[in-house]
């Protein structure tokens, strides 16, 4: 049971890091998607500011969730973020069905559809599982291990960023012939 809670917590952390890194590489596309949810009077700079906040939130929460397993507040924040994902994917499904959600930036072609809502529900279920109280001995991490996990988180986020940017550059170069 503890292993499933740890696995859920880690899968969520890795997902947030990949999503944050990939979105950062496609910031303008993600800002355009965010702007769809805002009233017309909100200009692109506001959408961009919200986009950067979301990306930073994902990267910071993913990194903290991976490196600081003994802080229960992080699990609760991840739960709130996953609940927000459900609200956004439901609104997207209702109003912007079939449009790109830019959930993983250029790394995927995910759209606002029923499967997107189902994926958000799955993430929320995993965040609920991750809330389970764990034996302190099971999640004990020494400073050297924390630093290694931090390096792993940075590497994963950077890899997602570079991969998404490479895909966007390839697409742009192909368009230009």
Partner 1 sequence: MEISLYLAVAQWTLLFGFAFLVIMLYRQLGHVFGAKAPFKHGPPAGTRAESFEYKRVSDHTLQYVAPGGGQPALLAFVNPTCQACEELVRALSAAHKSGDLKDLRVLLLISEPATYLQISDAFRATDLEIGQILSKAPLNSYKVTATPLVIAIDAGGVIGASGAATELAEVRGFIRACFVPHHEPHFPDLPVVQKADAAH
Q: State the Cα–Cα distance between residues 151 and 34, nearest whole angstrom.
A: 30
CB of 120 to partner 1, least distance (A): 18
Q: For residue 84, what are the CA distances in angstroms to 61, 70, 81?
A: 14, 24, 5
Could you tell me the smallest distance in angstroms from the CB atom of residue 90 to partner 1?
18
- In angstroms, what is the minimal distance from the CB of 118 to partner 1? 18
Alpha-carbon span 150 to 13, nearest angstrom: 12
d(C-alpha 142, C-alpha 73), whole Å: 19
The Cα–Cα gap between 90 and 20 comes to 20
- 128/154 with CB nearer partner 1: 154
In the complex with partner 1, the residue whose CB is nearer, 86 or 139, is 139
Tokens 């459900």 correspond to what residue? 86
Compare residues 133 and 175 and give the one whose CB is closer to partner 1: 175
Note whether 52 and 65 are within 8 A (CB).
no
Which residues of the chain form contacts with partner 1 (CB under 8 A)? Answer: 2-3, 6-7, 10-11, 13-14, 17-18, 28-29, 32-33, 35-36, 40, 44, 66, 69, 96, 99-100, 104, 106-109, 137-141, 145, 149, 152, 156, 159-160, 163, 166-167, 170-171, 174-176
In the complex, the smallest distance separating the C-beta of residue 114 from partner 1, rounded to whole angstroms, is 19
């Amino acid at each position: 049971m503890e292993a499933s809670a740890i696995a859920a917590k880690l899968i969520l952390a890795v997902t947030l890091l990949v999503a944050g890194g990939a979105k950062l590489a496609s910031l303008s596309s993600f800002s355009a998607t965010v702007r769809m949810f805002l009233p017309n009077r909100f200009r692109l700079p506001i959408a961009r500011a919200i986009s950067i906040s979301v990306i930073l939130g994902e990267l910071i929460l993913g990194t903290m969730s991976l490196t600081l397993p003994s802080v229960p507040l992080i699990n609760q924040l991840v739960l709130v973020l996953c609940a927000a994902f459900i609200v956004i994917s439901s609104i997207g499904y209702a109003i912007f069905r079939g449009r790109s959600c830019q959930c993983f930036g250029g790394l995927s072609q995910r759209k606002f559809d029923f499967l997107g809502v189902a994926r958000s529900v799955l993430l929320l279920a995993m965040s609920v599982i991750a809330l389970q109280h764990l034996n302190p001995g099971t999640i004990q991490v020494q400073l050297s291990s924390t630093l290694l996990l931090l390096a792993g988180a940075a590497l994963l986020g950077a890899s997602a960023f570079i991969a998404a940017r490479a895909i966007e550059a390839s697409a742009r170069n192909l368009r230009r012939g």
